[in-house]
Amino acid sequence: MIQIYDTTLRDGTQRKDISLSCSDKLRIAQRLDEMGVDFIEGGWPGSNPKDVEFFKQASKITWEHALISAFGSTCRVQGGPQDDENIRALLEAGTPVCTVFGKSWTLHALEVLRTTLPDNLRIIEASVAYLCEQGKRVIYDAEHFFDGYKADPDYALETLRAAVRGGAEQVVLCDTNGGTLPHEIGAIVATVRKQVDLPLGIHAHNDGECAVANSLAAVQAGCTQVQGTINGYGERCGNANLCSIIPDLQLKLGYECLPQEKLAELYDLSHFVAELANLAPDEYQAYVGQAAFAHKGGVHVAAMRRSPTSYQHIDPSLVGNQMSVVVSELSGKGNILSKAEQYGLDVNGSEEVNGALRTIKELEAQGFSFEAAEASAMLLLKRQQADYQPPFELIDFSVSVEQRQGRGIITEATVKLRVGEKVLHTAGDGCGPVHALDVAMRKALVEDFPLIEQFHLTDYKVRILNGNLGTQAITRVLIDTHNGYHGWSTVGAGPNIIEASWQALADSIEYGLLTTAGQAKPPR
């Protein structure tokens, strides 16, 4: 059994651009508890009022599985733990566990603390002992342990023994600067295990892009606790990513970390934390990224249709993810068939498949990209069906932008559309040409399709594809739309930005009408 110690709420929040409210931290902690995480490090109570409030609120919650830990440093060299403000704050946090860090590297003891090596050992032992005397379970984090061990192995080991004498229940070896390599981690942990008669943990940072590998190497060498964060959030390059470590340990190496049924919630946990951190999920993250099991190459997809294990290292559902097929100029027939199946479309004839494949390749050569615009890809497949009737058709549109004295910029758009036998001709104005087109189109269609009022444009992206052509460059437009239940993305491209925007806008409305009416399954 490998203990999972989560420090997202403390070390994770040291990442640039992350600031969690107390409410956010409590919600994440409760979700981690539901997952079966063993320890949740709530913060450093002596450092800021928010963490003090977190521990106050956490004390009112009944935790089903996890133990909440307060984090802090050893006492100051001058004085003892009984009159140290940091130690007092740890006790006032009211948690069953206190995690205390101390210096393992002679450089830090001598140059940062500006103390003697014996005094550093004294404050480690005294701090741990005092907290244990107050009824706390103490985990000792040996900061900079691997750098300290490489500089002076005997002294680094003595700092661990000081924590053991103080009564720590576990010592955690920290690669604080994140530059140690896996072979070094394994060898050092194996040596420490022979020297220290106490369970060991690993706390790795990712500055050398080895935090996950280092954590795995440490477990294989004898560590029984892994510290890390959800999505690898953390200072500088981040901490060890628990979203990779947990499935690596449990699915690949056979260690038990979480209850088996909870592993399938890992995808949702990753995205839940990203949402509260106000960060876009990393689509390319192992196991839990949306691209982790996305297949684009035609040869790959053809093989996958025969055997799902041919190009996947695990069944995606084990971690709550799913396989997806990307439609692009690199697609083969298998991509088209898989995408049609995903949307519940009956595209079985070779003529339909070949037509869709040919159209995709032609459009991508013109600047379209369907990888991030699955709604447009679905419509392209739908339009290959001989009996498909679009809900509306464009006849004409025009846009005018004028500078009028005393009124500023005036933008107006007119659209002429066909719905069944009717021809609708309306105008709309807006703060820009795309907005005006959107207003005019909605005004024309809303009477026949009142569901349009639920569709909201949530993002509009423009990319210049060949900037060397200046204002003649091909422009790609991506539009994201949401109806309150799910979102979708559409694409348009061409040398005229208004035409490209119209293509994406029209696809957005058409797709929304089809999925809302139940004619096609929405994407995940």
pLDDT tens digits, 93-120: 999 999 999 999 999 999 998 999 999 9
Flag the least confident range among 258-272, 295-309, 371-385: 295-309
What's the rounded Cα separation, in Å, for the pair 234 and 473? 40
What's the rounded Cα separation, in Å, for the pair 41 and 37? 11
Strand ranges for 62-147 from DSSP E? 67-73, 97-103, 137-143
Closest CA to 239 of 176, 166, 191: 176
- Which residue reads 């949740």 in tokens? 40
Residue 487: per-residue pLDDT: 81
What average pLDDT score do residues 40-61 get? 92
- Which residue reads 């795995």 in tokens? 216
Please answer whether residues 379 and 510 qualify as being in contact, where contact means their C-beta atoms are separated by less than 8 angstroms.
yes
What's the rounded Cα separation, in Å, for the pair 188 and 451? 64
Residues forming a β-bridge with 294: 324
Question: Is 222 strand, coil or helix?
Answer: coil
Task: Read off the tokens for 501.
Answer: 């925007």
Please answer whether residues 381 and 370 qualify as being in contact, where contact means their C-beta atoms are separated by less than 8 angstroms.
no
In terms of phi and psi (left: phi > 0; alpha: psi -120 to 50; beta: otherwise), the region of 441 is alpha
> What distances in angstroms separate CA 233 from CA 11, 176, 228, 230, 462, one per listed residue?
8, 14, 9, 6, 29
Please answer whether residues 476 and 369 qualify as being in contact, where contact means their C-beta atoms are separated by less than 8 angstroms.
yes
Closest CA to 436 of 409, 455, 463: 409
Q: Per-residue b/e over 190-200, b at no fewer than 16 CB within 10 Å?
A: eebeeebebbb
Please answer whether residues 205 and 172 qualify as being in contact, where contact means their C-beta atoms are separated by less than 8 angstroms.
no
Tens digit of pLDDT for each residue in 331-375? 444 454 454 555 454 555 555 556 666 666 666 565 665 655 677
What average pLDDT score do residues 214-221 get? 98
Who wins on pLDDT, 234 or 429? Answer: 234
The interaxial angle of helices 497-516 and 433-445, nearest 10 deg, is: 30
Residue 420 C-beta-side C-alpha neighbours within 13 Å: 4
**Cα dihedral angle (400, 406, 408, 412), rounded to 10 degrees?**
-30
Domains contained in the chain, CATH given: 3-258 (3.20.20.70), 294-382 (no CATH), 393-516 (3.30.160.270)
Q: Note the helical H segments in 167-289.
A: 182-195, 211-221, 242-247, 260-263, 266-276
Residue 495: per-residue pLDDT: 80
Residue 175: per-residue pLDDT: 98
Residue 478: per-residue pLDDT: 82
Q: Note the helical H segments in 330-478.
A: 333-342, 350-365, 374-382, 433-445
Tens digit of pLDDT for each residue in 301-338? 555 566 566 667 888 889 998 776 655 444 444 454 45
Closest CA to 265 of 340, 189, 318: 318
Amino acid type, 414: T
Amino acid type, 162: A
| Count of positions (residues) in the chain | 524
The interaxial angle of helices 497-516 and 374-382, nearest 10 deg, is: 70
Please answer whether residues 241 and 212 qualify as being in contact, where contact means their C-beta atoms are separated by less than 8 angstroms.
yes
> What distances in angstroms separate CA 413 from CA 392, 399, 448, 471, one per listed residue?
18, 4, 20, 22
What's the rounded Cα separation, in Å, for the pair 399 and 409? 13
Give the sign of the dihedral formed by CA 333, CA 339, CA 341, CA 343. Answer: negative
Flag the least confident range among 198-207, 216-225, 341-350, 420-429: 341-350
Task: Read off the tokens for 259.
Answer: 């209850």
Strands 393-404 and 67-73, sheet pairing:
unpaired
Flag the least confident range among 235-244, 256-265, 409-418, 458-467: 458-467
> What distances in angstroms separate CA 81 from CA 92, 129, 237, 246, one per listed residue?
14, 9, 33, 36
Tens digit of pLDDT for each residue in 144-187? 999 999 999 999 999 999 999 999 999 999 999 999 999 999 99
Residue 402: per-residue pLDDT: 86
